Chain A
Amino acid sequence: MNQIHKDTRSNKRSIVRYTYLMIVLFLALTGFGQMPIFKRYYIADIPGLGWVARFYVTHYMHYLFAILLIVLTSHVIAEYLFINRKRIKITISGYIRGALVIGLVITGVLLVIRNLASSGFPPGFIVFLDLAHLGLVMVLLMAGLYCIILKKKWAKERFKMSKGV
C-alpha cells in the first residue's frame, strides 16, 4: 500500500517538476525577449524562433506562462500547507529558490499593474522593479543550475522509509 502511495507521489512530483521547469524555461525566454537582444544576437534567426524578437508576442506569452506559474506555485504552497507539511521538510535550497520565485511573482505582478492604463508608479520605483525582476531571475537560474548539478532537492521526507522502499 505504502509502495503504491509512494510511487504515485513521486510520479506526481516529477510531473510538477517538469511542468515547473518548462514554465520557467518559457518565462525566461519570453522575459529575456523583453530586452532587444534576440535580434541583435541572431537568436531570432534560428528557424522557428523568429517570434522571440516580436515584442508583443513575447509579452503576451510571458503573461500566459506567468499565470501558469502562479497557478502552480499557489497549488504547491497550498498542498504543502494543507497536506504535506507533516511528511516533508523543505530544504535550505528549497527555501532560497522558493523565495526567489515569490520575489519574481511579486515584482512581476507589480509590473503587470504598472502596464495598466491607470497605473501611476513613480519612475524610480519602476526602474527598481525592472532591475529587481531581472536580477531575481538571473539569481534563480544560477541557483537552479547549481542545484541541478549538485542534485539538491527542494524538499525531503521527514521520516526515512525502511530500506529497499
Chain B
Amino acid sequence: MAKEISRRSFLKGGLAAACTLAATSMPEWASAANNKQQLVTLLDIRKCIGCEACVEACSEANTDKYPNPKKPFPKMYPDRVPVMDWSDKRDVTDRLTPYNWVYIQSATVEVDGEETEITIPRRCMHCINPPCVKLCPWGAARQLSNGTSRIDSDICMGGSKCKAVCPWHIPERQTGVGLYLDILPSLAGNGVMYKCDRCYNQIADGELPACIEVCPEDVQTIGPRDEIIKQAHALAKEINGYIYGEKENGGTNTIYVSPVPFEKLNKAIEKGKGKPHFKPVKDTMADANNLAAAMVFAPVAGVAAAVGKFYKMTKTDE
C-alpha cells in the first residue's frame, strides 16, 4: 500500500516536474543511455522534510542485496583485525551501515535570519572518477557507464580500502560474508563492503531509484549530466544558493543545492563514523593521473639515451 501511494505521488511529482525543470520522465532516461552520458542526481535540500521515506524505500528495494552473515565468524588473525557486525543492528538509520545506504543528516542553521532545521539525505556521491572503484585491488568495485559505482558483493574481500580512499568514507563493512570465507578466512579479507548502488538494477529496467521515486517532496531529480548541471546552476542562481558535488573530488554525480553555504552546513551537522562531511574535497586521483603523462615519455627517454650513446660510439669509431 505504502508503495502504491508513493508511486502515485511519484506520478504526481513526475508530472509537476515535467512541467517545470525536472528530468524524472522516461524519455530523459533513454536519452541519457543513448548519449552514454553519466546520470546525475540533483538534491534541492530546501525541499527535504526529513520524513525518511527514502531511507525506508532504499531498504525495501535493496533488502535482497543485504548481507546474511554466517555466525560464528571465523577467527581472524592477527587479533587487531576488527570484526564489523551490523547484522543485529539492521534497524540503525541514523548513519550509513551495510544495511542502511542512505540516511538523513540534520543541521540547524540560520536561513534569512531565521533559525531553520535543514535535513539532507546522504549516501554515496557516485564520483565521476571514483577512487573506491579505481583503487580496489581486485576490481570488485566497478563503475557502470551511466556513472553509478557499485561494489560486487560476490568478489569483494572486505579489505575496506574503498572506504579508506573515499573522501567521504562511504562504504561500510559486514564481516562473515563473501568470497574471503572460501579462501583463507583467518588470514585475508574480512567480509564485504556495502554502499548505495543507485539502484542500478532498477535503472537498468528503466525505473527510478527507490529513494527518488518515493520522496513526497521531489527532493531529488535525476538526468543526464549536462542537463542536471544546468538545472543545478539555474536553481542556485534562483535561490541565491550554493552547490556541492559538482567539483568535489574532481566532480561527482550527486549535486546538492543549498540555501546556506556548505561550510556552515558542515559545521552544523554531526560528523563521524558513517556520517559524511560537507568539506571541500580535492581531486584525489589527480596527482597520480598527472604522472601518467610522464609515463608516455618514459620509453622515449630510455631509447633516446641509448640512441645517443650509439651515435657517440659510431662517431668515436670513425
Chain A positions within 8 Å of B, measured between CB atoms, are: 34-37, 40-42, 55-56, 59-60, 63-64, 66-68, 70-79, 82-83, 109, 112-117, 120, 123, 126-127, 129-131, 134
Contact B299 A79 (CB under 8 A): no
Contact A55 B292 (CB under 8 A): no
Contact A129 B139 (CB under 8 A): yes
Contact A117 B128 (CB under 8 A): yes
B259 at interface (Cβ–Cβ under 8 A)? no
- Interface SS, B side: helix
Contact B155 A127 (CB under 8 A): yes
The one of B81, B129, B305 in contact with A117, judged by C-beta atoms closer than 8 angstroms, is B129
Interface pick from B26-34, B110-118, B158-166: B158-166
Contact A75 B285 (CB under 8 A): no
B301 at interface (Cβ–Cβ under 8 A)? yes
B134 at interface (Cβ–Cβ under 8 A)? yes
Contact A112 B295 (CB under 8 A): yes
| Per-residue contact bits, chain B 73-90, to A (CB 8 Å; 1 contact, 0 not) | 000001011000000000
B303 at interface (Cβ–Cβ under 8 A)? yes
**B contacts with A, residue count (CB < 8 A):** 43
A106 → chain B closest CB, angstroms:
12
Residue of A nearest to B161 (CB): A36
Contact A35 B159 (CB under 8 A): yes
Most chain A CB atoms below 10 A, which of B78, B137, B289: B137
Contact A55 B161 (CB under 8 A): yes
Chain B positions within 8 Å of A, measured between CB atoms, are: 78, 80-81, 128-129, 134-135, 137-140, 142, 145, 152, 155, 159-161, 164-165, 188, 250, 284-285, 287-289, 291-292, 294-295, 298-303, 305-307, 309-310, 313
* A to B CB contacts below 8 Å, 27 in the list: A40-B81, A55-B161, A60-B287, A60-B288, A67-B294, A67-B295, A67-B298, A70-B295, A72-B302, A74-B300, A74-B302, A75-B303, A75-B306, A77-B302, A78-B305, A78-B306, A78-B307, A79-B310, A83-B309, A112-B292, A114-B134, A115-B285, A115-B292, A116-B289, A116-B292, A123-B152, A127-B155
The 7 closest A-B pairs by CB, nearest first: A74-B302, A78-B306, A75-B302, A36-B159, A117-B129, A70-B298, A127-B139
> Please, which residues of chain B bring their CB within 8 A of the CB of A66?
295
Contact B129 A56 (CB under 8 A): no
- Interface SS, A side: helix
Residue of B nearest to A83 (CB): B310
Other A-B contacts than A76-B302, A78-B305, 20 sampled, CB-CB below 8 A, are A36-B137, A36-B159, A41-B78, A55-B135, A56-B284, A63-B288, A63-B295, A71-B298, A74-B303, A77-B302, A83-B306, A112-B295, A113-B292, A114-B134, A116-B289, A120-B145, A123-B142, A123-B152, A127-B138, A131-B138
Contact B291 A34 (CB under 8 A): no
Contact A130 B298 (CB under 8 A): no
